Structure 1
Amino acid sequence: MADDDSGLDRVKLLAARYRAVLDRPYLASGLYALTIVPSRAVPAMGVDRRWRCYVSPAFVDATPVEELAGVWIHEVAHLLRDHHGRADRLPAAAHRDRLRVNVAQDCEINDDLLADGLALPPGRMEPGAFGLPPGLLFEAYLPQIPPLPHAHDCGSGAHGRPSPWEPADSAGGVGPVEADALRRTTAQAMRAHLRGRGDLPGGWRRWADQVLEPVVNWRRMLAGAVREAVAWAGGAVDYTYRRPSRRTPALRGVVLPSLRRPLPRVAVVVDTSGSMREDDLAAAMAEVTGVLREVGIRGNRVTVLACDADVHAVSRVTDAAQVTLSGGGGTDMRAGIAAALAARDRPSVVIVLTDGHTPWPGEPPSCRVICVLIGAGHTGPPDPPAWAETVRVPAA
Structure 2
Amino acid sequence: MTTGAPGAPDPESGALDFDKLYAARLQAARARPYLATALFALHTVESRQVPTMSVDRYWRCYVSPGFVDRMPVEELAGVWVHEVSHLLRDHHGRSDRVAKELGLSGPGERLRMNIAADFEINDDIYGDGLAWPRGAAHPGLLQLPAGQLMEDYLRLFRLGPRLQEMAWLDCGSGADGLEREWELGPDGAHALSRQEQDGVRYRVAQGIKGRPGHAPEGWRRWAEEAFHPPQPWRELLGAAVRSAASGGGAGEDYSYGRPARRSAGVPGVVLPSLRRRPPRVSVIIDTSGSVSDAELGSALLEVAAISRAVGGRRDLVTVVPCDAAARIAHPLCRGEGIPLLGGGGTDLRTGFATALRTRPRPDVVVALTDGQTPWPEARPACRTVVGLFSRSGGSWDEEDPDYVPLAPPAWARVVKIGP
For normalisation by structure 2, the TM-score amounts to 0.49
In structure 2, relative to structure 1, the CA distance for the partners of 1:212 and 1:84 (3 Å cut) is: closer
Q: Which residue of 2 aligns with 1:206?
A: 221
Superposed displacement of residue 216, structure 1: 1.9
Letter in 2 for 1:144: L
User: Is the Cα–Cα contact under 8 Å of residues 114 and 171 in structure 2 kept in the other structure?
Assistant: yes
Runs of 4+ in 1 over 4 A off after TM superposition: 387-390
For the residue of structure 2 that corresponds to 1:74, the secondary structure is helix
Matched, 1:37 2:45: yes
Superposed displacement of residue 145, structure 1: 2.8
Letter in 2 for 1:78: H
Partner residue of 1:100 out of 112, 118, 138:
112
1:227-306 to 2 correspondences below 5 Å: none
For the residue of structure 1 that corresponds to 2:45, the secondary structure is strand
For the residue of structure 1 that corresponds to 2:210, the secondary structure is helix
Which range moves more in the overlay, 130-139 or 83-92? Answer: 83-92
User: Is the Cα–Cα contact under 8 Å of residues 116 and 200 in structure 1 kept in the other structure?
Assistant: no
Q: Which residue of 2 aligns with 1:188?
A: 206
Q: Provide the rounded CA distance (Å) in 1 between the counterparts of 2:181 and 2:414.
A: 50
Q: Deviations over 1:125-168 (max 9, x none)?
A: 10110110000000000122332461410000110001232135
1:102-121 to 2 correspondences below 5 Å: 102-114=114-126, 116=128, 118-121=130-133
Q: Which consecutive unaligned segments of at least 5 residues does structure 2 have?
A: 1-12, 240-411
For the residue of structure 2 that corresponds to 1:152, the secondary structure is coil
Q: Provide the rounded CA distance (Å) in 2 between the counterparts of 1:126 and 1:112.
A: 9
Count of aligned pairs: 221
Q: Which residue of 2 aligns with 1:171?
A: 188
Q: Which residue of 1 aligns with 2:138?
A: 126
In structure 2, relative to structure 1, the CA distance for the partners of 1:217 and 1:205 (3 Å cut) is: same
Q: Deviations over 1:30-57 (max 9, x none)?
A: 0001000011111110000110000011
Which range moves more in the overlay, 149-158 or 48-57? Answer: 149-158
User: Is the Cα–Cα contact under 8 Å of residues 93 and 177 in structure 2 kept in the other structure?
Assistant: yes
Q: Deviations over 1:277-322 (max 9, x none)?
A: xxxxxxxxxxxxxxxxxxxxxxxxxxxxxxxxxxxxxxxxxxxxxx
Q: Provide the rounded CA distance (Å) in 1 between the counterparts of 2:24 and 2:37.
A: 15
Q: Provide the rounded CA distance (Å) in 2 between the counterparts of 1:168 and 1:185.
A: 25
Q: Which residue of 2 aligns with 1:153?
A: 170
Letter in 1 for 2:84: V
Superposed displacement of residue 78, structure 1: 0.4
Which range moves more in the overlay, 75-84 or 184-193? Answer: 184-193
Q: Deviations over 1:162-216 (max 9, x none)?
A: 123213553331111100110010000112222xxx4211110000112564212
For the residue of structure 2 that corresponds to 1:177, the secondary structure is helix
User: Is the Cα–Cα contact under 8 Å of residues 58 and 186 in structure 2 kept in the other structure?
Assistant: no
Q: Which residue of 2 aligns with 1:354?
A: none
Letter in 2 for 1:43: P
User: Is the Cα–Cα contact under 8 Å of residues 17 and 65 in structure 2 kept in the other structure?
Assistant: yes
Q: Deviations over 1:302-356 (max 9, x none)?
A: xxxxxxxxxxxxxxxxxxxxxxxxxxxxxxxxxxxxxxxxxxxxxxxxxxxxxxx
Matched, 1:85 2:106: no
Q: Which residue of 1 aligns with 2:36?
A: 28
In structure 2, relative to structure 1, the CA distance for the partners of 1:146 and 1:188 (3 Å cut) is: same
Letter in 2 for 1:202: E
For the residue of structure 2 that corresponds to 1:114, the secondary structure is coil
User: Is the Cα–Cα contact under 8 Å of residues 31 and 129 in structure 2 kept in the other structure?
Assistant: no
Q: Which consecutive unaligned segments of at least 5 residues does structure 1 have?
A: 226-386, 391-396
Matched, 1:68 2:76: yes
For the residue of structure 2 that corresponds to 1:190, the secondary structure is helix
Q: Which residue of 1 aligns with 2:61?
A: 53
Superposed displacement of residue 115, structure 1: 5.6
Q: Which residue of 1 aligns with 2:336?
A: none
Letter in 2 for 1:210: E
Q: Provide the rounded CA distance (Å) in 2 between the counterparts of 1:134 and 1:82.
A: 19
Q: Provide the rounded CA distance (Å) in 1 between the counterparts of 2:128 and 2:158.
A: 27
Q: Which residue of 2 aligns with 1:294?
A: none
Superposed displacement of residue 114, structure 1: 2.9
Q: Provide the rounded CA distance (Å) in 1 between the counterparts of 2:41 and 2:29.
A: 12
Q: Provide the rounded CA distance (Å) in 1 between the counterparts of 2:87 and 2:47.
A: 19
For normalisation by structure 1, the TM-score amounts to 0.51
In structure 2, relative to structure 1, the CA distance for the partners of 1:180 and 1:33 (3 Å cut) is: same
Q: Provide the rounded CA distance (Å) in 1 between the counterparts of 2:181 and 2:115.
A: 18
Larger radius of gyration: 1
Q: Provide the rounded CA distance (Å) in 2 between the counterparts of 1:213 and 1:47.
A: 24
